[in-house]
Structure 1
Amino acid sequence: MLPVRFVLAVQDARYVEPLLNYVNGSPYGSSMQVTAFTRPDAFLQYMQSGELPALVVGDAEMLMAWFRLGEPPVPWLLLNESAELPAACPAGGSHTAKYQPLPRLLETISACCHGSRTLTGGGNGNSIGTGLQTGLTSVIGVVSPLSGCGKSTLAMNMAKQFAVLGLRVFYLNLETVNSSVLFPSGCNGMEGSFSRLLYDLKAAQEGGMENDLQVMPYRLRHQGLKCDTFEPSLHVKEIMEMTRSDTELLLRSLASAGRYDVIVVDTDGASGGRDERLQAVLEDAGALVWLLLDDPISMFKSGIRIDQLLQSGESFAGSLMKRSRFVVNRYTGQLVNNPPRQDIRIDCMLPYIPSWKQLQQQELLLMSPIYQREILKLCRQLLGDADSGLSDNRGELYA
């Protein structure tokens, strides 16, 4: 599953450092990201900077200083030296012994982290999950405010590499103009099936029969992607009339079918106004992969779009950054432009492939060994694979 992020706030560095070393050397190193603070001012500044962790773990002095700022926006775990929780603590947290065997402490922290994560990603109560546990489907949205940035190439290669890892994958293209039509599935007899599916989506909602909607008859096997998908539709007007509730029902129906571990959703780039399909993905996806380009315009547009979403008042705004991963495409060896926001960390660099500049066979976009190697690393990072060779799950200590 996706690594969870928690903050450790303890004034005693002699306590913090052994805990960080244990996390990095244990199996938790692939499933947890730790940011540690030993100074109250640095801790409080971080908690007010924007991105929120899944959990805050701290001693009484640090947590009490944080509580004085107002109602805690995330769950907390007090490292307590007594057997009782102080009466001054607000709701939304728990406590555990400060001094105990590290494996037992990490078990407690892990349980609190995963207990605080909503399986819906955005909290709308459906069955779409972020983890790849039995019975749950992980929805990963690939998003960008840019057109022509390689978003569909990324999404399709991710679907393929998740399948290579042995997962059951569905590739869902929600673009207004479906670019996956350039990659034939090799499956015949499904022409017009997506239009019929859209009709069924609307009919099920009008008749109050959402739970009876069957989407599996419309799926097909895409030989090139090694996963399931729907037949691409070029009826632009039909796609544009697809509402937020249509999209949510489609995602919910795919997830509840119990046939897929991962749904990779390819969204529209540079869509104007309020794209209801994109809004549904932003709400329901357990992870959002933002695609950036290393140029000033790309970084500027991406920053403005993210700022707009964070200030939109939508229910997903509070968890947006926590669920987001950031990928730079067409990387040439050195990142020239800074990320659009200070709280954005680049999680993956996808190489520039010169031979893609002029292509006669689109299938070659799914066959570059160099590109697919980096996509595989990204997929493993999203899954929290300890063998990915990535170093970004190491804890950070801020004095």
Structure 2
Amino acid sequence: MNHLLLVWVDHHAEYANRLEQFVRTSEYRDKLQIRLFTQLSYASQCLKEADPNRCVLVCSEPFREAMPASAEQFPCLHMYVSEDKNRSSAHAGTLIYRYQPLRSLLKELMLRQTEYRGSPVSIPSGGRSTRILSLYSSVGGYGKSVTALNMAAVLSSQHKSVLYLSLETVSASGLLLQDGKTDSFSRLLYLMKKSPETVAAYVDALKSRHPAYGFDYLMPLPNIHEADELSADDVGTLLAGIRSSGSFDYVVLDLESSVHPRNEHALSLSDTVVWLVADDLYGLNKTRQMKNIAGVEDKTCFVLNKYTGITGNDMESFGVSLYGKLPYIPEWKTITEPAAWVNEPVFTDGVNRLAQSLLEGAEFS
């Protein structure tokens, strides 16, 4: 297999051994090989035999002075690990901080290699048939992001491979997704536009995994203007690349409550659309006007969120035939910890039953 080879030269033997063990026992075993050395001279034969396009030489700081001399002899990417997180020097572009989570360190090394060579490390096809499940509403504040995050967590708990992706201009989901790199989606879009045929590998390199809930995600775009410039074509290229990779069983799309072209295109590419509504005259009227966008009516399931046990409006008169209901959670009127969004058992049970109904035909009301 075409693994990326890490040639790791380090005096810190305990750290290097721990890194090697992590590579061999984690998901990185299918993407990376690692060879450990304590002296740069000991690594020379390995470097001579390696494909420079699929090799990264990583040295600890004591070897920093020797690295420029080795650059001509070994024309692969050269990096060094630093003990100082805030170091700023002429070598900053080839510096990586040692004391970060190993998964983050390896992900960053793969990205540096991608940017250095202009093409990512290829990944084997996962062989999965990917379904796109979109969460949408005609009005903001209906609990779309909370429902999407719960859906991703529920599907992941059922041993499905799930990617959560927010296409909102301003997203609240970042409050829960604090372990990911803030620029992961931005970097993906930049790299995708340079080389759209390699989207799958870029997603694989940039995604983060939620430590508690097990789903993968890309951090929401941090810049409002950048998010606003995300086009329908960008969304199409991105979703096509993700589908082709076969890496995910489900992509959970958290869409913006608007008729922006990117949302319309995302809806048209979705397999299932969960359209949240509320017992609200204004929102129901907007839903009536918007429900035929992108020709997705045949795959749309209207779900009443924040259900209190009674409704005051006749949903059918607005063309809204309810697929089911999700409960109102009074405790969410004031949230101080984002984890409360995915730790509420009554709501989680409702989302679980919704997922079973949508995907397996189980009863849901």
TM-score w.r.t. length of structure 2? 0.62
Separation of aligned partners in 2, 1:342 and 1:230: 36
> Which residue is equivalent to 1:226?
214
Secondary structure at the aligned position of 1:148 is classed as: coil
Separation of aligned partners in 2, 1:138 and 1:284: 10
> Which residue is equivalent to 2:149?
156
Determine if the alignment matches structure 1 residue 327 to structure 2 residue 271: no
TM-score w.r.t. length of structure 1? 0.57
Count of residues paired in the alignment: 240
Return 5+ residue gaps in structure 1 as ranges.
1-133, 310-315, 393-399
How far residue 391 of structure 1 moved from its aligned partner, in angstroms, is 6.4
Of 230, 233, 238, the match for 1:242: 230
Distance verdict in 2 for CA 1:191–1:301, change over 3 Å: closer
> 1:275-316, CA deviations, whole angstroms, 9 ceiling, x for partnerless residues?
122022111000001000012112111111114x2xxxxxx4
Instruction: Name the aligned partner's letter for residue 260 of structure 2.
Output: D
Separation of aligned partners in 2, 1:212 and 1:357: 39
Question: What pairs with 1:233-312 in structure 2 (closer than 5 Å)?
Answer: 233-269=221-257, 271=258, 274-307=259-292, 309=293
> Which residue is equivalent to 1:182?
175
Secondary structure at the aligned position of 1:214 is classed as: helix
> Does the CA contact (< 8 Å) of 2:192 and 2:199 recur in 1?
no
> Does the CA contact (< 8 Å) of 1:194 and 1:230 recur in 2?
yes
Determine if the alignment matches structure 1 residue 203 to structure 2 residue 203: no
Secondary structure at the aligned position of 2:208 is classed as: strand
Distance verdict in 2 for CA 1:139–1:294, change over 3 Å: same
Distance verdict in 2 for CA 1:287–1:383, change over 3 Å: same
Separation of aligned partners in 2, 1:191 and 1:287: 28
Secondary structure at the aligned position of 2:174 is classed as: helix
- Greater percentage in helix: 2
How far residue 174 of structure 1 moved from its aligned partner, in angstroms, is 0.6
Structure exhibiting the larger radius of gyration computed from Cα positions = 2
Question: What pairs with 1:82-121 in structure 2 (closer than 5 Å)?
Answer: none
How far residue 135 of structure 1 moved from its aligned partner, in angstroms, is 3.2
> 1:233-287, CA deviations, whole angstroms, 9 ceiling, x for partnerless residues?
3211111111111011111111211111011000012x3xx51220221110000
Distance verdict in 2 for CA 1:391–1:331, change over 3 Å: closer
> Which residue is equivalent to 2:135?
142
> Does the CA contact (< 8 Å) of 2:192 and 2:202 recur in 1?
no
Secondary structure at the aligned position of 1:289 is classed as: strand
> 1:338-369, CA deviations, whole angstroms, 9 ceiling, x for partnerless residues?
22557542112111111110111121011110
> Does the CA contact (< 8 Å) of 1:299 and 1:340 recur in 2?
no
Return 5+ residue gaps in structure 2 as ranges.
1-126
Of 371, 374, 386, the match for 2:350: 374
> Does the CA contact (< 8 Å) of 1:201 and 1:213 recur in 2?
no
Secondary structure at the aligned position of 1:215 is classed as: helix
Determine if the alignment matches structure 1 residue 192 to structure 2 residue 183: yes
Distance verdict in 2 for CA 1:250–1:369, change over 3 Å: same
Determine if the alignment matches structure 1 residue 356 to structure 2 residue 341: no
Identity of aligned residues (%): 29
How far residue 210 of structure 1 moved from its aligned partner, in angstroms, is 6.0
Greater RCO (Cα-Cα under 8 Å, separation 6 or more) = 1
Separation of aligned partners in 1, 2:281 and 2:240: 37
Q: Which moved more, 1:256-265 or 1:231-240?
A: 231-240
> Does the CA contact (< 8 Å) of 2:165 and 2:252 recur in 1?
yes
- TM-align CA RMSD: 2.2
> Does the CA contact (< 8 Å) of 1:325 and 1:346 recur in 2?
yes
How far residue 225 of structure 1 moved from its aligned partner, in angstroms, is 3.5
How far residue 335 of structure 1 moved from its aligned partner, in angstroms, is 2.4
> 1:177-232, CA deviations, whole angstroms, 9 ceiling, x for partnerless residues?
12111113434xx3422211111222235xxx467863211111012442000123
